[in-house]
Structure 1
Amino acid sequence: MTTDAAVARATASATGALLGRPWAWLCVLGIAAADAAGAAASDVTVTHTLRPMLASLLLLAVAVAYRLADRNLRIAEMTEAAALWIAFSAAGCVLTYLCARLDWPLRDAALVRLDRALGFDWTAWWRWTGRHHVATLLALAYASLPAQLVLCCVVLPLLDGDRTGELFWTALLSLLVAAAIAGLLPADGAYVSFGLADRADWLADARLLRSGAPATFMLPAMKGIVALPSYHTVLGVLFIYSWRGAGGLTVAATAWNLLMIVATVTAGSHYVTDVIAGLALAVATIAAVRGVRQAFGHSAIAPG
């Protein structure tokens, strides 16, 4: 073995000892670099990035410290997972904004027609949920995404298999696809189509992006602007899949995330077509990640 090869191997070994998921971090850094380049090219500025960055680095430092001390690697995995999700969420959110900058024609009219062809009356469903006091429960389910991610970071490392890595890779792959689709097939959403535009708190950001004018956004205040496909639906399916075979946790996670998926229509201003597309994307990404693991071995993705 040459000296250079030995050094490279030692470096890779040291990196693996410090970071449980080096490839995942590399992908997130790649998205962040693409964000920086895209923002500079399209006159978009993102501010207030320091706190999320520091939170991610602090959690990562805890994970590295536990690995170096060779103590309680479960805690190392939990804290690294949390750090990774904070960084990924920030980079992914900026990516969706930059894709909206493409300003392709809005597809709301076509999505309304598709919903009607499926026999779904969005306005009737909105009124029914309001009359039967279901709207509050649906809104609660829809808003549970951050809490569910925290729960996944804490509990999934305690279960069998690399569920933490599996959830991350399926979420990352599906986000890349969803951001691209949303950029090419943008929509204002059902609230705008059905006279509820005052509820669409993301609309000002989306329209500013599509205008091409110089734009500045605060990272903590950025919204979910992906309409088609519904990324809430994608994550709902991925959560259900991640909790499989876990007894009572499986039942609870399945019931709650099915409710969250239903909630995307009224609480998330989605067309049913958005939800169907989200279901299809989630299934496709699960199949893709499983296929890679089966073809190249579990270690092809599991370490990071």
Structure 2
Amino acid sequence: MFIWCLSWLSIFALSDFIASDISLYWSFGSACAIAGCGALARRYRHDRVALFLEACTVPAIAAALSAATIIMLASVSGRFVDVQLIRIDAMLGFDWRVIFDFYLAHPWIVPISETAYSSFQPQFLLLPVALCLWRPEMLWPYITAYIFALLATAAIFPFAAAEGPYVYYGIPQGIVPNIGEEWPWQWHFGEWITQLQKGETQDISKVWGGLVQFPSFHSAAAVLFIWASKSIRFLRWPGLLINVAIILSTFISGAHYLSDVLAGCAIGLLSIWAATSVPILRWPTRSSFPNLSPQSA
């Protein structure tokens, strides 16, 4: 990840891209500084301190690098593939509009879907800390899988950019209560990508909300969250229920086709396999860190 960080910073410095929101610089710089303290703690065998600092910062650094990489790749992405994604859905017997009509007919489900979808952020922040406390030997396999999923998503994205079902089907903003009320990003995938392709914007802070339609990273992350939380006894079933809800919520709250969701789940499973089975990616076992001992969970 250090090489990834240096490469991205070099490209960013040499490109026309900027970030007008100064807080992005401060947040990224602070996370890198704290991660550096973690590396120093590991150097002096303070393994528990090192793991805690890594848990708090490394996933965030990787996510920021991935988001910035995706924004840059959007400028060279191909044509929108909504037609192809809808065709795949049809082959699987799925019609996104049926789910949308269900939400319209049962508006009480919208807040549940929105809550489930937004649970991604607290899990992203807190699950690594929980692993550090109760299953320290699982932290770096989880982080490795998470980074692998980010890289796979970024690599696929420019070949499968899409506008999303709300725009493709001409569904106006506001027709579904509570969807996109505060920030209607679900309606702007295509607009932002087109602006980047035409060079109409170089400010990454204006499109930081997300551009990826296929594959669904929320679905990939939900699979990783289920896998990681399964190792902590009291999080096992809550983690399963919450993250199944995340996957189901991606259709409307995340504006995803079924093909997006299935591809995201596949990336999650592939990332777990890579982190646990590919020798070059496997993290040392607990015996390599004698100062670590998981607490009861």
Q: Matched residue of 2:275: which SS?
A: helix
- 1:184-223 to structure 2, matched below 5 A, reads 184-196=159-171, 198=173, 199=184, 200=186, 202-203=188-189, 204-218=191-205, 222-223=208-209
TM value normalised by structure 2? 0.81
Distance 1:214 1:129, change over 3 A: closer
CA distance in 2: counterparts of 1:296 and 1:65, whole angstroms: 22
Distance 1:39 1:135, change over 3 A: same
TM value normalised by structure 1? 0.79
- 1:102-117 to structure 2, matched below 5 A, reads 102-117=76-91
Amino acid corresponding to residue 36 of structure 1 in structure 2: L
CA distance in 1: counterparts of 2:98 and 2:81, whole angstroms: 22
8 A Cα contact 2:131 2:139, kept in partner: yes
CA distance in 2: counterparts of 1:56 and 1:185, whole angstroms: 31
Unaligned runs of 5+ in 1: 1-26
8 A Cα contact 1:202 1:224, kept in partner: no
Q: Give the aligned partner of residue 95 of structure 2.
A: 121
CA distance in 1: counterparts of 2:272 and 2:136, whole angstroms: 15
Distance 1:176 1:245, change over 3 A: closer
Instruction: Deviation per CA, 1:135-188: give whole Å up to 9, x if none.
Output: 111111111122002221321112235221112111111111111111112111
Q: Matched residue of 2:203: which SS?
A: strand
Q: Work out which of the residue numbers 237, 246, 249 in structure 1 matches 2:232.
A: 246
Q: Give the aligned partner of residue 45 of structure 1.
A: 18
8 A Cα contact 1:237 1:257, kept in partner: yes
Q: Matched residue of 2:86: which SS?
A: helix
8 A Cα contact 1:229 1:277, kept in partner: yes
Instruction: Deviation per CA, 1:222-245: give whole Å up to 9, x if none.
Output: 112111110110000001011124
Amino acid corresponding to residue 18 of structure 2 in structure 1: T
CA distance in 1: counterparts of 2:9 and 2:72, whole angstroms: 10
C-alpha RMSD of the superposition:
2.8
CA distance in 2: counterparts of 1:76 and 1:36, whole angstroms: 24
CA distance in 1: counterparts of 2:258 and 2:282, whole angstroms: 37
Q: Give the aligned partner of residue 178 of structure 2.
A: none
8 A Cα contact 1:138 1:267, kept in partner: yes
CA distance in 1: counterparts of 2:150 and 2:283, whole angstroms: 22
Q: Give the aligned partner of residue 250 of structure 2.
A: 264
Q: Work out which of the residue numbers 52, 55, 61 in structure 2 matches 1:87.
A: 61
Q: Give the aligned partner of residue 290 of structure 1.
A: 276
CA distance in 2: counterparts of 1:77 and 1:208, whole angstroms: 40
Distance 1:232 1:62, change over 3 A: same
The alignment-based identity, stated in percent, is 23
8 A Cα contact 1:244 1:250, kept in partner: yes
Q: Give the aligned partner of residue 179 of structure 1.
A: 154
Q: Give the aligned partner of residue 135 of structure 1.
A: 110
Q: Work out which of the residue numbers 64, 67, 75 in structure 2 matches 1:101.
A: 75
CA distance in 2: counterparts of 1:168 and 1:50, whole angstroms: 23
CA distance in 2: counterparts of 1:42 and 1:267, whole angstroms: 34
Distance 1:77 1:201, change over 3 A: farther
CA distance in 2: counterparts of 1:140 and 1:297, whole angstroms: 34
